[in-house]
Amino acid sequence: MDAEIAYVFRHALVREAAYELQPPGDRAVLHALVIEIVEAALASDDPLLDAWALELADHARAAQAFRRTANLALLKALADKEVGYLVRAQKYALAEYDNGVAVALGTRIADHAAASYDDRFSALVQAGEVLVNMGSPAQARERFERANALAREAGNGRDEARSMRAIGISFARAEGSPSAIPWMEKALEAFRQAGDKPGAALALGNLALLRASMAPPEETLAAYDQALELLVEEAHENGQASTLNNKGNLLRSLGRREQAESCLRRAIELHRKNRERHQEGTVLSNLAALLFETGRPEEAAEAIAQAVAIARETGNRTAEGVALLHRAISRFRAGQHADAEQDYLNALALARESGNVYWEAITLMNFSVVLEDTGRPQQAITHGELARELLRRLNARHELGIVTCNLANLVATVGVGDLPRARTLYEEGVALLAEARQRSIEGVHRGGYAVTLKRLGDASAESELAKARALLEEFGTPAGRDELEKRWAAAGQ
């Protein structure tokens, strides 16, 4: 053994033995003395105290545990000091993205008899938010529900609304909109009753997102704009950024790409200003998808690389999975098929690990297209069917429309093609896309529907082709229009 290592080892053993030989009362004095010396040496706002906060909290706990005294004031002072350092330690862990420690400290604070209501409520909510970002929404919900019970008991309407909104978000991440909407509606009403305008604006934006697949897009855009107006009025920049991200995604799906890019870039700017790294990574991932769609692969690849790096730095498993999904799409388009497939598999594993059914379905949906293009049509159909089943369960109607049309295309082209079933699938899928007013995507799939009808000898094929052409002319891309004409011509041979 190295001499220096041997010395350190022996020193540690001697120190531990000396500590164990001390009577409990003397140990308590030593632990209290550590706190006293550190606090005397450092200013109360010294960053070193943040880094040492957990150790100091443990010293305060030990000073109580080993002390045999009837001096209740002293014990209370030590308990208060322990809680104060625990709160400081959780804040430090959050800033360092030490997620496991932040969650554990949230529970320890909430369980501490000396912790105030504010400390307990905040600790639980912050621990829950970390768990949501880690991809554990069910565990997060346990913290949010406990925080909600505390708020109700305390008669704090604003905090009750905050915890209701958090519960709604946890349901959205795990089970989709149907389970989340009732909680978000209750949160909105509670915020309004409490006179919390920023909270009401956030809940309004969340509701717009949750209802997006069930409401006309212009109605959803109006709700986003209403939320943004309130958030700007209240100078709530993080809320503005989150709402701009959601609005940008909707505009992108509607083919209004310039407006979408403006929203997404402004959201990134606000998140960076406020050092909201989790959210910045999420928006970068969405921006990357838009950049690919508009023919800027190098910019898109850079945005994706940043998004993946941020997700891994912050331990945001959901965001990492979404970023890997976008990277898979980009790599496949660039001809990097093996790398793309690995990204798809990793994204799928992350979604399943976290129980995020929505992103599992979206990943399956996109992966099915890759499997088709790489000569594995039966696997593609299996993945598409599973994605369709999951999206139907979530009532995600826009996405269900896309995957149903993708499946229709597969069914129509595999082997000799099951054209009657393809027609049935197209009818369902195109109707869902039309309902959601997803014009660009509707144009692509209505074109596929027209081609299928032509192959079946259906007289309505020409009218469906005309509708598809009109949609692609207004909302599509030149490549999309050219592809439709090629498919139409080939169907007549």
Total number of domains constituting the chain: 4
324, 346, 368 — which closes off a domain? Answer: 346
From residue 51, how far is each of 36, 89, 91, 160, 275 by CA, in Å?
Answer: 17, 7, 10, 32, 20
In whole angstroms, what is the distance from residue 1 CA to residue 479 CA?
A: 69
89, 119, 149 — which closes off a domain? Answer: 149
Question: Tell me, what's the pLDDT at 6?
Answer: 53
Question: Tell me, what's the pLDDT at 318?
Answer: 83
Question: Tell me, what's the pLDDT at 23?
Answer: 53
Same domain (yes/no): 81, 125: yes
More confident residue, 74 or 368: 368
Estimate to the nearest angstrom the gap between the alpha carbon of 417 and the chain centroid: 39
**If you average pLDDT over residues 42-60, what whole number do you get?**
83
pLDDT band (50, 70, 90) for residue 8: very low
Question: Tell me, what's the pLDDT at 20?
Answer: 53
Residue 439: which CATH number? 1.25.40.10
Q: What b/e string do you get for 216-233 counting C-beta neighbours within 10 Å, with b at 16 or more?
A: ebeebbebbeebbebbee
pLDDT band (50, 70, 90) for residue 21: very low
Please check whether residue 251 lies inside any domain of the structure.
no
Please check whether residue 154 lies inside any domain of the structure.
no
Helix (H, G, I), strand (E, B) or coil at 429: helix
pLDDT tens for each residue of 398-455: 888 999 998 998 888 876 678 999 999 999 998 888 887 777 788 888 888 888 888 8
pLDDT band (50, 70, 90) for residue 389: very high
pLDDT tens for each residue of 239-297: 999 999 999 999 988 888 999 999 999 999 999 999 999 889 999 999 998 998 888 88
In single-letter form, the type of residue at position 5 comes to I
Same domain (yes/no): 307, 373: no
SS3 sequence, 250-300?
Answer: HHHHCCCHHHHHHHHHHHHHHHHHCCCHHHHHHHHHHHHHHHHHCCCHHHH
User: In this model, does residue 10 exceed pLDDT 60?
Assistant: no
- Domain range for 168 is 164-201
User: In this model, does residue 68 exceed pLDDT 90?
Assistant: no
Question: Tell me, what's the pLDDT at 357?
Answer: 84
User: In this model, does residue 166 exceed pLDDT 70?
Assistant: yes
Question: Tell me, what's the pLDDT at 7?
Answer: 46
**If you average pLDDT over residues 455-460, what whole number do you get?**
88
SS3 sequence, 75-144?
Answer: HHHHHHHHHHHHHHHHHHHHHCCCHHHHHHHHHHHHHCCCCCHHHHHHHHHHHHHHHHHCCCHHHHHHHH
Question: Tell me, what's the pLDDT at 27?
Answer: 65
Answer whether 205's CB lies under 8 Å from 240's CB: no
Q: Mean pLDDT, the chain, as a whole number? A: 86
Same domain (yes/no): 484, 394: yes
Same domain (yes/no): 2, 121: yes
Residue 489 tokens, joined = 């011509």
pLDDT tens for each residue of 89-126: 999 999 988 999 999 999 999 999 999 999 999 999 99
- pTM for this structure? 0.75
What one-character DSSP code corresponds to residue 457? T
User: In this model, does residue 321 exceed pLDDT 60?
Assistant: yes
